Amino acid sequence: MQICRAGNKGMANPGSIKCLFFSLLCLYLFCVKAVAEYPESQESDRVINLPGQPPSPSISHFSGHVNVNGDNGRALFYWFFEAQSHSSKKPLLLWLNGGPGCSSIGYGAAVELGPLRVNKNGGGLHFNKYAWNKEANLLFVESPVGVGFSYTNTSSDLTKLDDAFVAEDAYNFLVNWLQRFPQFKTHDFFIAGESYAGHYVPQLAELVYDRNKDRAKYPTINLKGFIVGNPETDDYYDSKGLLEYAWSHAVISDQLYDKAKKVCDFKRFYWSIDCNNAMNQVFDEYQEIDIYNIYAPKCLVNTTSSLAKVNDYGLRGIRVFGGYDPCFSTYAEDYFNRKDVQSSLHAGIRGRNSNVTWKVCNNSILRTYNFTVFSILPIYSKLIKGGLKIWVYSGDTDGRVPVIGSRYCIEALGLSLKSPWRSWYHHSQVGGRIVEYEGVTLVTVKGAGHLVPLNKPSEALSLIHSFLSGQPLPTHG
């Protein structure tokens, strides 16, 4: 834009000199403002010319590695999208996927709630009009190390992975990321995730909550609450709910249901051999359909199945991935293994062989992860008393972490009822049900499976809008 005009015949005059001075001053201030908003430390992470990205709308995004442990050479990979509008005023939302071992880039960002979704042929991207960065500045991180592009230079780290290890690394990631992006330090901060992130999210929230009390030692993070979808929460209630859902939705026979009920004591940390055998039969019945969305067509493309069972009685029982693997993982893997994509995302797999293939889910982490936490419910009780905003949502066609188990978990907290069970509406149709307790809100999403933002993107956007804004979900058509 032209600010000053030259004098007649190009000759300078006092007015034009004064105008030039103010123009240079304005330019200086503009540059200072730009540097303040985007310091060099984050500009180097800006994503430019991402292959296959649609030319419009304009999307401001950044990605790269953040160190979480200098001694062992551990770094987590992130992908961050600024809010589509008013980013300086909107909250910061961190999204985590579960597994353990599944990528928030491959699922959350590229398949579910990010603004750029991978095309079905894996050849490019398309804009997601239901992206959650309409409501918040959206941060995805691949956690723990060994997932996706996140790495460690100390191989023994991969044998030590458990919930406490993951929470500590995630906390260090968050602190160091906010150092790189200081303009978001004062924003309201929320954590979200699904499946085994039903452990990760509350545990990280608790760590932030506790360390916020020691301001002399730790930086303050403006944590306001968390929301989890189809979350693994308590082994007893989740397992009980899984079995009852399979029977009540005609997946298993009366005989198998009765047998499993008889031989399984889900309150035990380690299942008996008889219980493992019975539950193996339950999962065998799911092989013919999609356990993560029991009414959806099963993918017929050859994929690496996330239904890998671990028949190891050293574990507390059968473990299947808390991710989702119809055909979408194939498309994501095709895209993120492209060298030009990795270069644009600053995602070189450092600290490991450069020929390592990027996977949506790392099976080895599932097999070696140290499951040490039976229930997250005590954290809920603690953080409810701490005043955090807590929501749980559940797609009601998920057989892996079904709504029955989530209802048992919430009821076990013994909270006073605030608003009774009722329908909520979306586009004049029932979107699901909602019940509010003093401290926790439970929302179901009708017809959604394990990945609610994938199966019901419009409803999911309405849900996160309500959670973040405080505006109630419509209860009338």
Give tens-digit pLDDT for 318-349.
444 333 445 778 889 999 999 999 999 999 75
14 pLDDT higher than 60: no
Known catalytic residues are 195, 398, 450
What mean pLDDT do residues 98-126 have? 91
Among 143, 167, 159, which residue's Cα sits nearest to residue 75? Answer: 143
State the pairing for strand pair 61-69/116-118.
Answer: unpaired
At residue 5, the pLDDT reads: 37
Q: What's the whole-number average pLDDT of the chain?
A: 87
* Element (DSSP H or E) covering residue 35: helix 14-37
29-57: per-residue pLDDT in tens? Answer: 434 444 445 677 789 999 999 999 998 88
Say if residues 451 and 324 touch (Cβ distance below 8 Å): yes
What mean pLDDT do residues 417-444 have? 97
4 pLDDT higher than 50: no
Which residues, including other chains, have CB under 8 Å from residue 63's CB and lie 6 or more apart? 45, 47, 77, 78, 79, 80, 345, 346, 347
236-275: per-residue pLDDT in tens? Answer: 999 999 999 999 999 999 999 999 999 999 999 999 999 9
At residue 324, the pLDDT reads: 43
Say if residues 178 and 352 touch (Cβ distance below 8 Å): no
316 pLDDT higher than 70: no
Please tell me the chain's helix, strand, coil percentages from 3-state DSSP, rounded to the nearest 5.
40, 20, 45
What percentage of residues in the chain have a pLDDT greater than 70? 85
350 pLDDT higher than 80: no
CA distances from 372 to 161, 165, 234, 316 (A): 10, 11, 12, 9
In whole angstroms, give the CA distance from residue 421 to residue 402.
18
